[in-house]
Each structure stands twice: as structure tokens, then as C-alpha cells.
Structure 1
Amino acid sequence: MTQHAQAPRGGAAGAPGSAAAILDRAYKKATWKLIPFIFVCYLFNYLDRVNVGFAKLEMLDALKLSDTVYGLGAGIFFIGYVLSGVPSNLMLHRIGARRWITTMMLAWGTLSASLMFVTTPSAFYVLRFFTGVAEAGFFPGIVLYFTHWFPAERRGKVMALFMSAIPVSGLVGGPLSGWMLQHFAAGQGGLAGWQWLYLLQGLPTVALGVMVYFYLNDSIAQAGWLTADEKTLMQGALAEDEKKRLAVSDSGQSFASVLRNGSVWMLGTIYFCIQMGVYAINFWLPSIIKSLGFRDPATIGWLSALPYLAAGVFMVWVGRSADRRGERRWHLCVPMLMGLCGLLLAAKFSSNPLVVMLGLTLATMGALTSLPMFWPLPSAFLGSAAAAAGLALINSLGQIAGFVSPFLVGWIKDATGSTDLALYILSSVMLVGAVLVQRVPAKVVNR
């Protein structure tokens, strides 16, 4: 153990006063303090991003919009997201997570709720674009934030717990959105069901943004809920983690060196392949279920929750397995292969509701679990000086899929009357990503 991480009190390893015991206690405290709250913030972040998939069930008919218009509006969010990702994360690195996350959440919560006032395609596009701008720094900022608290060997479980907010947002958001559409179908208060959906799912984000300012700490040193011994050992563990990362990383310390590094661009490509499958599921799952013959919004909501329930359980289990075994590549590759198999199954047997639901469940489990299993890879490559911009760059490259995927599915559905061809294309893209994962050096990411 290095001088930074020496036990402040005597005791055998594992004893109550030993360094290992103090460190374990500190990480348990940090996990329980940070993860539940950040989990709820990310749940509403994702819900605000994809609730347009449920609003579509009524919004398109009410405003006389086509599937192509919907796909473009759903996807244009990510143009703003990609353009703003790197500068937003640099701003977080400069002024601190607490102030910048508060600012972002107030902005995107207000913009998301404002979608209730949309009457034209142009207004839909503009609001979706600026919502993407406002949200851009949240996810990569949280990934960066975790690197200031948890070393690499503990980050797989943390990321899985945090990103389980995605399937939970589907698990909760599906039935909730279906209920809202059904309950407010009569037009209470002069608003349609889809308008109430945007309003009631956007306002909680504003309230959470205010809470962030008073709840989060920017660093270990500022955490009054940690003892001096716990702070010392956690900071020492992060210092050791940084040394290990620099010993095996070839990314350099500057953002310029990241831009010149082919491995970083390859990681961005892998993330793009994962997100192509993820966003097809997020934006089109309710519509695919409706095409199976289900018309009641509440029924569609409950059926859409089933794949997310399975994905949430699977995601946490895989995250723990990855940390326990110290293995990263196959814990990412196998879920990606599951995702593509599920998409193929749903497309091949599109006339059989039971098989389609099975395929969609398998696809959701695989695609969504791939997300937290991906992020320990770039964290292993990037030194702390490059992490703020580097993580945002990789995230932005992946989020391009957020524009391409829903627009592609919408265009193909308008052209062919079915989503089957789109699912075949998306499964092929995920296969490319799974192959690229095996090109990532095991010595860098497996630890």
C-alpha cells in the first residue's frame, strides 16, 4: 500500500480499525449518499428524453404529423446534445458538479414541460433541439463525477446501479405514461392527455434541480459526512487508480492527444452501435406494441414495462459479475449479442405477439445492459486531465445514434409500412460494435 493509503489506525486487514475496513465503510457511505439521489435525477433525465415515444400515441393524430416528422423530432434532440456535450462537460469541470447540474436540470425540465405547447413541426423541432442542448452535459458529467469518488475496480457496480435508472424509467414511465394518456383523455383543464404527460413529467426535474444545489458535494474533501480517515483513504485510492491508469493508457493527458488517439474514436464507434439499438427501443417500443393489435394506452404502458423490468435485474447482476471477476470485454460483448438476437427475433416473427415480446425483452436486456458495461472501458483509457473532454467526446459520438436511429426507423416505417427492415439494420450495427469490443486490449480494461 502506498503512503497515501496507509491506515490511520492500527489493526489487521479487515478488522474494524484497519485501512481496508475503513475504506469499505467509506465507499458504502458514498454509495448510499450519492447513488440513490443521482439515480432519481437520471430517471427523470431519461424519462424527459424519451417520453415523446408515448406522447406520440396521441400527439401525431392531434397535430396531423407523420412518422417521419416524429422520427426527425425525436432525433433532432441529439443534434443539440452532440454539439453541446464537450463544452458542457468542460463547464462542469470548471465550476463544479453542484452548480452546473443544477443549471442543466432547471433548463431541460422547463423545456421538456414546454413541449405541451407544440402545435407545428417547426416548434416540435426547436424545443427538442434546445432540450438536447440543455441535457448534453448531464450524463458525461455524472460519469466524470464518479471518477472523483470511486476507483476503477468499484466503478462497474456503481455505473450499473446508476444506469439501472434507464430500465426503471421504462418500468415506471410506461405504466405512468399510459395512465396519464388514459386519465386525461377527456381533456381536463383544456389540455389533451399528451400535453399533461409533458407537463407532469417535466416539472419534477425542475424541483430535483433545486435539490441538487443543496445536496451534492463537488469532491471528497467537501463531504462533511465522511470522517478525516475515510477522506484520506479514498483520496489515496484514487491516486493509486490514476497511477495504474497512466501506466497502461496511451491516450495522453491532453484533449488534443485524445483527438489523435484511434482507440478513443473506436470507443465512440462502439458506443454509437450500442445506442442505435437502445434508442430504437426507447422511442419505438410503444408503437411496436401497438402494431401488435393493442390499442388501450394503459395496456401498452404495462406491456412496455416488462422488457424494462427484465433489463433492470439483468443489468445489476452483470455489473456485479464484472466487478467480481475483473473482466470487462465479454461482460459488454455478450449483452450486445443478446441485443442483436432480440431485434432479429422481433423482426423475423413480427406477426406473432408472444415471440415479438420475447424478442423485444431480450433486445432491451442486452442493449440497456451494454450501456453501464461500456463506460469502464473509456474510464480505463483516459487520464484525469483528459477525462472531462474525452468522456464527453465519446458520449457525443455515441449520441449521434439518437438522431440516426429514430429517424431511420420512422422513415423506413413510412416507406414500407413496417419496422422489420429497420430492426434488421439495427441488429447488424450492434454486431459491428460487438466485433469492435474484442479489439479493445484486455490488459487496459480488465482489472
Structure 2
Amino acid sequence: MKSHSVLSTAGAVADSSAPALDIETRAYAKVMRRLVPFLMLCYLGAYLDRVNVGFAKLQMLSDLGWSDTVYGLGAGVFFIGYFLFEVPSNMVLHRFGARRWLARIMITWAMISASFSVVESPTAFYVLRFLLGVAEAGFAPGVILYITYWFPSARRAKVMAIFFMAIPLASIVGAPLSGWVMASFSGLHGLAGWQWLFALEAVPSLLLGIAILFYLDDSIGAAKWLTPDEKAVLQRNIAKEEDGKVAHHSVKDFFADRRLWLLTAIYFCIVMGQYGITFWLPAILRNAGVAGVGTVGLLAAIPYAVALLCLPLVGRSSDRTLARRLHCGVPMLVAAAALFALPFTDGVTTALALLSAAAAGAICGTSQFWALPTAFLGGMTAAAGIATINCIANLAGFFSPSLVGWLNDFTGKQGAGLWLTAGALLLGACMLALVPRQVVDR
């Protein structure tokens, strides 16, 4: 009888826990379906507006008589504005809510992006790129912070990987689209193809910015599409995790945290690699022998299609093994090796294969990096920490195209710029070994 009683009790416990697990599974599935695809779409618009200057370069420089140095400086000055305004932007988002602030970001950057269609001088180009950085500051770290409001650390690597699929998607969609717009609209109503490119590709961001106001919720408690039981499970999981996170009590403590600066240096290297690929990929393909902006646009989508396939695989593996450093570092090493080999190769096929490995490695490294700081930062510290890491590291977005452009002009070859980018990724991967495993591998 006693044995029977124990078995009955165990069965009752198992039965009572099953509904709770069902509620949790259903709740996270709802959140995933509701938020992640929409946030991906928004980031796709952001990334498209940020990097379409790489395709505009194919016509813009010859039309306006600019050099690679002018283009590289203009492409990079975006990140100065981004750097100056990112931390304040994320603090405002955390205090007043994501819905209105993310909408403000998208609407203002769409209007500025469209203004590039009337630029005529290098000075106007630099000013607009700076203002675009100011307008967009806080969007990517804001979304990363917003994801931490809904998903605990153990589920976050997969979510981040899916969210960052917007980067290759932006190029898969944007590269052929940009090439088609520039080839098809050139001369229409007296405007060049690159002018139409800036005007038309600003429209999706404007519409998505308006949609955010009606679609996003600031918190779990405000989500009318969740049941009370589902809200309770999600809020309990987030609250339990926040109890074990770092919350610095002063500005001095925050800036004295060496882990913050180590992660900033690592992410700086990742961004150097990512933008070294993004801003120069079309030019690399053209120099490999690809003729016509339409063909360049189609072929430029291939490396990002490879990255798109790799991202969810790496994210799932990271959440399953919890080896966060490994899943960030190995892709970075793959990207570094591919970029180092590029100057020694000939032919479009080989160049595409190496660019595919480089793009997949850099983008996977980017997505997996954000599982590191969000594993131990919480509350307002998370808002400030994510923004600080992102804004300082994104200065690499200024240095990368600027230095690569200067090196290309100075040496007359692309090899020096590619090796600089490869070296940055290699250095970042090596520094990951200094990050305490017990802090982030969870």
C-alpha cells in the first residue's frame, strides 16, 4: 500500500507539472510568433537603409566625381552619430517603453535616408550620414534589450540568431532589389539609378515605423494576446533570472567592470569584420570580373543566403550546449581565414565561396556575441551595458570602411584592406578566451 501511495503521489506531481510546462511552451511559442518575425522585418528595413550606400557607390562615385576615400569616410561617419546618441537612446527606451521609441527611430531614419537622393557634395553626404546615425542610434541595442524583457538567457541564443537573420535577408532581398532599381529606374524623371535607390528603399522603414505604434507591446503585462496564466509564467521566469544578474549601483562601478570593456573590444573586432564585408562586397565582386550592377546584385545575395542557413543551426547548437564563447569564436575564425585567402584567389566562383564563408562567419559571430553580455547584465545596467558595448564597438563601422578605402587607394589593391579586416576578426576570437566561462556559458 505504501508503495502504491508513493507511486500515486509521484504521478500526481507529474500530472500537476505537465499543465505548467504546456502553458510555458505555449507562451514562448506565442511570443516567438508574435514578436520575432516583426522585429526581424524592422531590422531588415534598418539594415537596408544603412548599407544600400554600398550599391549606390557603383554609380554614385562616377556621377559625382568622388574617390573611394570620400565614400569610405561617408560610409563610416554614420557611426559617429550612432556612437554619440546610442546610450541615451537605450536609456530612454528602457524608461519610457519600446513601442513609441522604436517607432520614432524608424520614422526619422526613413526620412533622412530618402534625403540622400538629392545629395550633390561630399559635405552634404557626410552630414546626412552623420544624421542617419543619430536617427538610428539605439535601434539594434534597443531591440536586443527588448528581447531580454520576454526571453530568459537559456532561450536567448536561438532568438538572437533568428533575429539577426534579418542581416542576410536584407542582403538577399536588398542586393538584387538594389541592382534592379539602379538598372531599371536610371534616367526616369531625370534622376539617376542611385537616387531612386535611396528614395524607394526608405519607404518600408517609414511604413514599419508607423506599424510599430499599433503592433508592439512595451511589456509582458501589456500584451493582450497572452492569457493571465501565460503572463504569469513569463514574468516569473524573467524575475527569477533578474535576481542573479549584475545591477551596478553607480556610474563608477559600471565603468569599472572589466568584463564590459573586454566584451566591447571583442565586439569592436566583430563589427570591423562585418562591415568590412558589407560595404565592400559589391566592389569585390566587380573586381573579380562581374559586369553590370544587376548581376552584381544577384550574386551578392549568395553569401548572405549561406549565412541565413547557418544562423539558426548555430543558435540551436548554442542553446543546447550553452557553449557561448565557442559558438561566437569559431565562426569568427572561419570568416578571418576566408578574408585572408581572398586576395590570393582568381575567378568569380572562388571569390563567391570565400565571401560566403566570410559573411556566414561574421554574421553568426555577431548573433552569438549578444548571448554573452545579456547572460549577466540586468535592469537599467543591461540597458546601459548593451548600448555602451554596441555604440563603442560600432565605431568600428567608421574605421572599417574608412581604413579599407584609404588602404585600397594607397596600395592600389584590395588585399591590404581585406587582411586588416581578417586580422580584426582573428584578434576578437582570441580575446574570447579571456571571458570567464562560468559567467557567460549558461
Q: Same fold (TM over 0.5)?
A: yes
Query: Does structure 2 conserve the Cα–Cα contact (< 8 Å) formed by 1:157 and 1:320?
Result: yes
Q: Secondary structure at the match of 1:275?
A: helix
Deviates more, 1:352-361 or 1:107-116: 352-361
Letter in 1 for 2:394: Q
Q: Secondary structure at the match of 1:38?
A: helix
Correspondent of 1:319 among 308, 315, 320: 315
Letter in 1 for 2:307: A
Specify the alignment match of 1:273 in structure 2: 269
Q: Map 1:345-384; keep pairs closer than 5 Å.
A: 345-349=341-345, 351-384=346-379
Query: Does structure 2 conserve the Cα–Cα contact (< 8 Å) formed by 1:311 and 1:366?
Result: yes
Aligned equivalents of 2:249, 2:149: Cα separation in 1: 16
Letter in 1 for 2:308: G
Aligned equivalents of 1:24, 1:440: Cα separation in 2: 32
Consecutive unaligned residues of structure 2, counting only runs of 5 or more, are 1-10
* Distance change in 2, residues 1:244/1:164 (3 Å): same
Query: Does structure 2 conserve the Cα–Cα contact (< 8 Å) formed by 1:253 and 1:382?
Result: no
Please say if 1:194 is aligned against 2:194: yes
Q: Map 1:126-275; keep pairs closer than 5 Å.
A: 126-185=127-186, 187-246=187-246, 252-275=248-271
Letter in 1 for 2:429: A
Summarize deviations over 1:383-420 as a string: whole Å, max 9, x none. Answer: 22311111100001110110000001111111122210
Correspondent of 1:332 among 315, 320, 328: 328
Please say if 1:288 is aligned against 2:284: yes
After TM superposition, give the deviation of residue 17 of structure 1 in Å: 5.7
Deviates more, 1:15-24 or 1:194-203: 15-24
Correspondent of 2:429 among 405, 418, 434: 434
Summarize deviations over 1:26-82 as a string: whole Å, max 9, x none. Answer: 000001000111110000100100000000000001110100000000000000001
Q: Secondary structure at the match of 2:291?
A: coil
Aligned equivalents of 1:26, 1:11: Cα separation in 2: 23
Summarize deviations over 1:259-280 as a string: whole Å, max 9, x none. Answer: 1111100100000000101001
Please say if 1:29 is aligned against 2:30: yes
After TM superposition, give the deviation of residue 381 of structure 1 in Å: 2.6
Aligned equivalents of 2:164, 2:14: Cα separation in 1: 32
TM-score by length of 2: 0.95
Specify the alignment match of 2:8 in structure 1: none
Percent identity, aligned pairs only, is 49
Which structure is larger by alpha-carbon Rg, 1 or 2? 2
Aligned equivalents of 2:440, 2:263: Cα separation in 1: 12
Summarize deviations over 1:317-360 as a string: whole Å, max 9, x none. Answer: 100110111220100010010110110111222x3332222211
After TM superposition, give the deviation of residue 285 of structure 1 in Å: 0.3
Specify the alignment match of 2:413 in structure 1: 418
Aligned equivalents of 1:16, 1:209: Cα separation in 2: 41
Aligned equivalents of 2:413, 2:47: Cα separation in 1: 26
Aligned equivalents of 2:105, 2:29: Cα separation in 1: 28
Consecutive unaligned residues of structure 1, counting only runs of 5 or more, are 1-9
Aligned equivalents of 2:381, 2:181: Cα separation in 1: 44
After TM superposition, give the deviation of residue 226 of structure 1 in Å: 0.4
Aligned equivalents of 1:339, 1:439: Cα separation in 2: 20
Q: Secondary structure at the match of 1:244?
A: coil
Aligned equivalents of 1:310, 1:76: Cα separation in 2: 29
Please say if 1:66 is aligned against 2:61: no
Aligned equivalents of 1:245, 1:29: Cα separation in 2: 26
Query: Does structure 2 conserve the Cα–Cα contact (< 8 Å) formed by 1:41 and 1:205?
Result: yes
Letter in 2 for 1:365: A
Specify the alignment match of 2:106 in structure 1: 105
Specify the alignment match of 2:404 in structure 1: 409
Stretches of 4+ moved more than 4 A in 1? 10-17
Specify the alignment match of 1:7 in structure 2: none
Deviates more, 1:433-442 or 1:49-58: 433-442
* Distance change in 2, residues 1:190/1:155 (3 Å): same
Aligned equivalents of 1:233, 1:165: Cα separation in 2: 29
Query: Does structure 2 conserve the Cα–Cα contact (< 8 Å) formed by 1:15 and 1:21?
Result: no
Query: Does structure 2 conserve the Cα–Cα contact (< 8 Å) formed by 1:274 and 1:367?
Result: yes
